Amino acid sequence: MEKETPQPERMMTTAVLVIGTGGAGLRAAIELSEQGVQVLAVGKRRKHDAHTTLAAGGINAALGTMDPEDSWQQHAADTLRESYMLADPHIVEIVAKNAAQGIDDLDRWGMPFAREEDGRISQRFFGAHLYRRTCYSGDYTGLEIQRTLLRRAQELQVPIIDSVYITRLLVADGRIFGAYGFDIVDGTPVVIHADAVILAAGGHTRIWRHTSSRRDENTGDSFRLAALAGARIRDAELVQFHPSGLLEPSDAAGTLVSEAARGEGGVLRNSEGERFMERYDPVRKELSTRDRVALANYTEITEGRGTEKGGVYLDVSHLPREQILEKLPRVYRNLIDMQMLDITKEPIEVAPTAHYSMGGVWVSADEHRTGVDGLWAIGEAASGLHGANRLGGNSLIELLVYGRLTGGDAAQYVQGLTEVKRDPAMVHEAREEMQALLTGGGEESPRLLQRQLRDLMTEHAGVVRSEEGLLEGLRKLAELETRAGHVTAHPDIAGFDDLAHAFDLYGSLLAARATLESALERRETRGCHNRSDFPEQDDALKGNMVWSPSTGVVFEPVAEAPEWLNKLANEWIDDSPEGKLAE
């Protein structure tokens, strides 16, 4: 029997629509509201539980409160160097230069930063930073940032709807005029007319089996929305794998064990009991950078020295119980809750886990415009800052800096508009796409196809890639894309989650294709991207893989950095672990 179509469509109008209610989206919405521009923020998961809340370690700015010799220029140099010179130097400069204002904004709005006895904001080392420049709030920094931004948005009476799933951006003659979606609770189709859209809907790390993202976030929504609207995707292949994700339980595979566990003295051992990091980085050992530790873990597992479940052991049981309870309270509690494992007595089984999309939508440096008139992208949805390795603490400051700058640019844009064209045919196309999923007779399940896609990406585009593996991944992907044409969503009494899963699948398939095709073209090993058939870095590939559905992959050389920045970035840095937390 044909399902009833949810009707009528709910119509909404705003000057600027922000898609995503995490830190990036909220900061942009706050800026627009402070400038007197009408704004609406929508998201597909509860605003108090956005992905930003999972960020633990801290947020970077060269305040010099602990090390007066620090500077924004040095912050920029550290960022560019650790990107393996693939970051856009202008974006790097903007973030470093504006970081202090981002911290000041949070401070003014009541962010409970850790402080020294004299009231200064405390700052600590993270890996690959020359100075102490990471501000923090215990090991809940992201959660406190989200709370702070939500409080400020509430003070400004910013309207936030956190149960709307956006399925399409609406474009007429190359210019944005809104978005189409549905209410996840009751399935009501939603048409939002907007003069501009800011895309802040995260990355694509959920397309791997082991990931620190939860199952309904970072599924590639931003990639698909932007690409179908005419934007391009940059560096989709550059994905940061965190060294230590849990293997169990299966529905939480990839949940992070904080790098503070290694920072406090935890050691990594293989199934033979060997402390293997001595072989990969004899000086820094467990306090080496993320890409190196993840590669070491992966190598131990693939060469047969992993555990029966496909991991390695992270052991803190030799540390004093009091130290673990004081310094690693969240890790201790999570392992008790998830596995009934007492980490003061037993080691933790971990494996590399997809953690952060360093690539994303192509954006201009100054204001993060996408090349589509009236569309911006920020946060993990965007690209350009991190290159082939992200510094810990940089993702949170990026949200603050470009949330403010992009919000300001979007405000100027809509205030200068004299007319907006709308195309009913685009609304009709989005409506038909959604209804086809609800009324189709296909027997494919979006959840099952998502699982198979995650297995595909883990096998063929994980920590180490090869041409043979990537081509096989593309072959399997083509089969999944065909089967996805026969997906039918089955809403039930609990809501329209199954329809959301179907669109998550669509986003994941597009993101997977962008990733596989870009990884195939990057025939080198650089940072997070390891090619077993091209183990050396290639200077000719110092640039970005830019992908779109119509053109495939196009290589674009990265912009040259100013002489002063190049000089600083190439200077020697003391990267010994002495006194430093892991990245």
Q: Which residues are catalytic?
A: 242, 262
CA distance 557 to 541: 8
Q: Across-strand partners of 375?
A: 197
Residue showing tokens 């390891």: 530
Q: Across-strand partners of 10?
A: 190
* Parallel/antiparallel/unpaired status of strands 552-557 and 543-548: antiparallel
Structure tokens at 174: 């190359």
CA distance 199 to 375: 7
Q: Across-strand partners of 19?
A: 42, 199
CB neighbour burial string for 489-507, b if at least 16 within 10 angstroms, e if fewer: bebeeeebbbbbbbbbbbb
Which residues, 6 or more positions from 453, have their beta carbon under 8 angstroms from its beta carbon? Answer: 207, 477, 480, 505, 508, 509, 512
CB neighbour burial string for 264-277, b if at least 16 within 10 angstroms, e if fewer: bbbbbbbeeeeebb
At residue 419, the 3 state secondary structure works out as coil
Q: Angle at the Cα of 260 (from 257 to 265), degrees rounded to 5?
A: 110
Q: If 0-12 CB within 10 Å is exposed, 13-18 middle and 19+ buried, where does residue 364 land? A: middle
Q: Which among 222, 249, 229 has a CA at the least distance from the CA of 176? A: 229
CA distance 353 to 421: 44
Residue showing tokens 């196009």: 554
